[in-house]
Amino acid sequence: QKEVEQDPGPLSVPEGAIVSLNCTYSNSAFQYFMWYRQYSRKGPELLMYTYSSGNKEDGRFTAQVDKSSKYISLFIRDSQPSDSATYLCAMSANTNAGKSTFGDGTTLTVKP
Amino acid sequence: KAGVTQTPRYLIKTRGQQVTLSCSPISGHRSVSWYQQTPGQGLQFLFEYFSETQRNKGNFPGRFSGRQFSNSRSEMNVSTLELGDSALYLCASSPSDRAETQYFGPGTRLLVL
């Protein structure tokens, strides 16, 4: 079993919908949690970076971490066609980039 | 500021050959990390270089190697290519090695026949 499991998708929603993307993990040492967005033929781009449990909001994006359940989520409000991409969760026991473990990604399509 | 650039963008090789991929980090960034991305295994860390020294290494065989030059540009080499090496190889640069300051390049897509 993988250390990080991500809802596989693909996910297709109408424009304006609220999107929920989710990951579970098994390593209780993970303290740093990240969400990346990857457009086709591009490298991943960091969207959200959170430490420990709680919520973090940035515009239409909200990252939620529940360490007791080993569960993290990314919510996208008022989704736009430009949000169509693959979303990767990643987590780490420390801040070192190379120590991050990534999920396999969820591909999201937002239809106009 | 120019982003991370990787060359070539696409590459086709045959089994047994070797390949060298290049990464030019964002100006001023001293850390360069390499990742392999495949549909089956996802994104996996290969190694990280900082000021010409390898600081971290992932769980890949010795066929995968890298180096960093004094101008922070980095190269990754894969020898004796196998079919399973077909992947998108991503380079990321950072002024430090912290995940929240890491910027990815567009990747080199390698196909091994």
Task: Note down pLDDT in tens along chain A; length 112 residues.
Answer: 789 999 888 999 999 999 999 999 999 999 999 999 999 989 999 999 998 888 999 999 999 999 999 999 999 999 999 999 999 999 988 777 667 889 999 999 999 9
- Check residue B56 and give its pLDDT: 87
Alpha carbons A30 and A52: distance in angstroms, whole number: 8
Count of A-B CB contacts under 8 Å: 66
B39 φ, ψ (degrees, to nearest 5)? -60, -35
∠ CA B36-B39-B42, nearest 5°, is 50
Smallest Cα–Cα separation from B22: which of B31, B34, B40, B12? B34
Residue B79 has pLDDT above 80, yes or no: yes
Q: Which of B99, B103, B106 has its CB closest to that of A92? A: B99
Determine, for residues B45 and A92 on separate chains, whether the beta-carbon distance falls below 8 Å. Answer: no
∠ CA A105-A108-A110, nearest 5°, is 170
Banded pLDDT at B76 (limits 50, 70, 90): very high
- Check residue A95 and give its pLDDT: 74
- Check residue B65 and give its pLDDT: 97
Question: Residues B22-54: pLDDT tens digits?
Answer: 999 999 999 999 999 998 888 999 999 998 999
Q: List, as one string, the DSSP characters of chain A.
A: --SEEE----EEEETT--EEEEEEE--TT--EEEEEEE-TTS--EEEEEEESSEEEEETTEEEEEETTTTEEEEEESS--GGG-EEEEEEEESSSBGGG-EE---EEEEEE-
Alpha carbons A103 and A88: distance in angstroms, whole number: 6
Residues 76-95 of B with CB under 8 A from A: 90, 92, 94
Residue B100 has pLDDT above 80, yes or no: no
A1, two tokens: 């079993």
> Rounded to 10 degrees, what is the CA torsion of B36, B42, B43, B47?
-50
The mean pLDDT value for B95-111 works out to 86
Alpha carbons B85 and A63: distance in angstroms, whole number: 33
A99 φ, ψ (degrees, to nearest 5)? -90, 5
B85 φ, ψ (degrees, to nearest 5)? -80, -5
Q: B45: which chain A residues are within 8 Å (Cβ-Cβ)?
A: 98-100
Residue B98 has pLDDT above 80, yes or no: no
B16, two tokens: 């047994």
